[in-house]
Copies of this chain bind each other. A is one copy, B any other.
Amino acid sequence: MALIVQKFGGTSVGSIERIEQVADKVKKFREQGTDLVVVLSAMSGETNRLIDLAKQITDKPEPRELDVIVSTGEQVTIGLLTMALMKRGVPAVSYTGNQVRILTDSAHNKARILQIDDQKIRADLKAGRVVVVAGFQGVDEHGNITTLGRGGSDTTGVALAAALKADECQIYTDVDGVYTTDPRVVPQAQRLEKITFEEMLEMASLGSKVLQIRSVEFAGKYNVPLRVLHSFKEGPGTLITIDEEESMEQPIISGIAFNRDEAKLTIRGVPDTPGVAFKILGPISAANIEVDMIVQNVSHDNTTDFTFTVHRNEYEKALSVLENTAREIGAREVVGDTKIAKVSIVGVGMRSHAGVASRMFEALAKESINIQMISTSEIKVSVVIEEKYLELAVRALHTAFELDAPARQGE
């Protein structure tokens, strides 16, 4: 019998009415003869309400106690859904992270799953029960309640699917799949039938916030087929899986990702000596600032220019660190720009196709969009451009890579 793990997020269980709808959906799957494990988030708003209670007491809530408090959100929804299932004549049982037992490390508020005991769940499935599990939470070796951090319910779903060797892990959300790009920017954007884990990681980290990155990594590592679906609309969603066959029909580019969260910093006229990159980025990293793109060009007259991007929120902090560094190493000047956007084309197909980058640059040139930085990986080419050209660039690339065409056959 097929075993599916289904994960429903906070909006999907945001009211009693919605919980009843989820129960209807689960019942339908059950009647098709599928074994089911259902992972739930807290009702939308509940986790924030609980955090707010804690924040009223202290700005820096004790991490262990915060986990004790916020983990109650999922505990309520699993009880409610289980009742709704039993009302429908579907045998069901709920488990907290501790009851399953989902063993994590002791890093409260951002714990990592170490091991899942599948005994209870297997026995319940065998007895014909739907097993409803609280997402986002676990227990450490000392019996302390832990949480996996925001969005951790996706990770719970994938980890359970891996432990139970489920046939599929279905993540129900408020979108009906992964799109070639944001449909609000490109109305012709299309739902992808299929995407690889690698592509999904690039899409997710570039701003297509459908799935939590960690859960995709996890799914890739344990090869759990992951499907993104809409909670309340019918449809096949998008399957995220390994790249089984590099068939001829495979598109070169799966999607266009973008974000406007970043800012760019450049240090000019840096004496080009060994170790200079470390001298520049060491203090940035010591200040706990995460760096995304890094570009260093060939040098002129024994000096070089060094550019990198950081999250826009950390621009001021990074600027001040960099100005100190500039004085220390005798660089000429520091300049920055917060009005930038990053656009990326993503696709495993580009591995075997030459000229993808040049096709990208050509499309941008046609629209007279100047490229400020370029960075490439095996399955991605990213460029930084002036923010005001973002929508224009995305649309141009979506057309250039033939993503506008009528429904693609992904499978």
**Contacts from A to B (Cβ < 8 Å):** 16, 19-20, 50, 53-54, 56-58, 61-62, 64-66, 68-69, 71-72, 75-76, 78-80, 82-84, 86-87, 93-94, 96, 98-99, 143-145
Contact = CB atoms under 8 A, between A and B. Distances in A.
B68 A94 contact: yes
A50 B65 contact: no
Nearest to A66: B79
Nearest to A17: B56
A80 B53 contact: yes
A61 B76 contact: no
B56 A16 contact: yes
15 contacts: A16-B53, A53-B76, A54-B79, A54-B83, A57-B80, A57-B83, A58-B87, A62-B82, A65-B83, A65-B86, A68-B94, A71-B75, A72-B76, A75-B75, A99-B143
A62 B88 CA distance: 12
Contacts of A79: 54, 65-66, 68-69
Given A16-B53, A58-B84, 16 more contacts: A16-B56, A53-B80, A57-B84, A58-B83, A58-B86, A62-B86, A65-B79, A65-B82, A65-B83, A65-B94, A68-B78, A68-B79, A68-B94, A68-B96, A69-B76, A96-B145
A19 B50 CA distance: 15
Contacts of A71: 75
A57 B87 contact: yes
Nearest to A70: B79
A66 B83 CA distance: 8
A80 B49 CA distance: 13
A44 to B, nearest CB: 14
A177 to B, nearest CB: 30
A98 B71 CA distance: 14
A83 B62 contact: yes
Scoring A72, A75, A82, A143 by chain B CB atoms within 10 A of each residue's CB, the highest score goes to A72
A94 to B, nearest CB: 5
Contact of A80 (B69, B99, B144): B69
Contacts of A69: 75-76, 79-80
A235 B374 CA distance: 74
A164 to B, nearest CB: 19
A103 to B, nearest CB: 14
Leading 6 A-B pairs by shortest Cβ distance: A72-B72, A69-B79, A68-B79, A65-B79, A16-B56, A65-B82
A53 B71 CA distance: 18
A144 to B, nearest CB: 8
Contacts of A57: 16, 19-20, 80, 83-84, 87
A99 B98 CA distance: 10
Contacts of A99: 143-145
Contacts of A84: 57-58
A82 B82 CA distance: 31
B61 A83 contact: yes
Nearest to A78: B68
Nearest to A49: B76
A99 B78 CA distance: 20
Nearest to A144: B99
Contacts of A144: 99
Contacts of A87: 57-58
A36 B293 CA distance: 54
A87 B60 CA distance: 9
Scoring A50, A69, A98, A145 by chain B CB atoms within 10 A of each residue's CB, the highest score goes to A69
A78 B80 CA distance: 23
